[in-house]
Amino acid sequence: GQNIDQPTEMTATEGAIVQINCTYQTSGFNGLFWYQQHAGEAPTFLSYNVLDGLEEKGRFSSFLSRSKGYSYLLLKELQMKDSASYLCAVTNTGGFKTIFGAGTRLFVKA
């Protein structure tokens, strides 16, 4: 089956850097997504990784290691508006389902 693990909560300070980890187990790995979700709102796409390495997009970067079943999302120059849940999601070739982790709730404090 598939399994995704993320920390439940993290707290960081405005202006700092935070790394949110995600480990997964799946057969036929076909890509990993990161989504941001503010409370009560829709998830919005942040990044997609299918090959090993780092993808950078402005203040956000995402890293993938397929051999380790591991990804992280790096948020730099944290802003108060970054307080949200960050969802790690994995797709596989065995079907057409995207499985989401439970999400990491990030609190950014002044």
Partner 1 sequence: DSGVTQTPKHLITATGQRVTLRCSPRSGDLSVYWYQQSLDQGLQFLIQYYNGEERAKGNILERFSAQQFPDLHSELNLSSLELGDSALYFCASSVGNGGGQETQYFGPGTRLLVL
Question: Which chain residues interact with partner 1 by CB under 8 A?
Answer: 30-31, 33, 40-45, 48, 50, 87, 89, 91-93, 95-103
> Following DSSP, what letter does each residue of 53-110 receive, concatenated?
EEEEETTEEEEEETTTTEEEEEE-S--GGG-EEEEEEEEETTSS-EEEP--EEEEEE-
Instruction: Give the up-direction half-sphere exposure of residue 4: CA atoms within 13 A in the CB hemisphere.
Output: 24
Query: Of the two residues 40 and 110, which places its CB atom closer to partner 1 in the complex?
Result: 40
Query: Of the two residues 43 and 69, which places its CB atom closer to partner 1 in the complex?
Result: 43
Map tokens 């990030």 to a residue. Answer: 106
Which tokens belong to 8? 């439940």
Q: How far is the CB of 3 from partner 1 (least distance, A)?
A: 12
Map tokens 């949110």 to a residue. Answer: 20
Query: Of the two residues 69 and 78, which places its CB atom closer to partner 1 in the complex?
Result: 69
Query: Of the two residues 61 and 85, which places its CB atom closer to partner 1 in the complex?
Result: 85
Q: How far is the CB of 20 from partner 1 (least distance, A)?
A: 14
Q: How far is the CB of 96 from partner 1 (least distance, A)?
A: 4
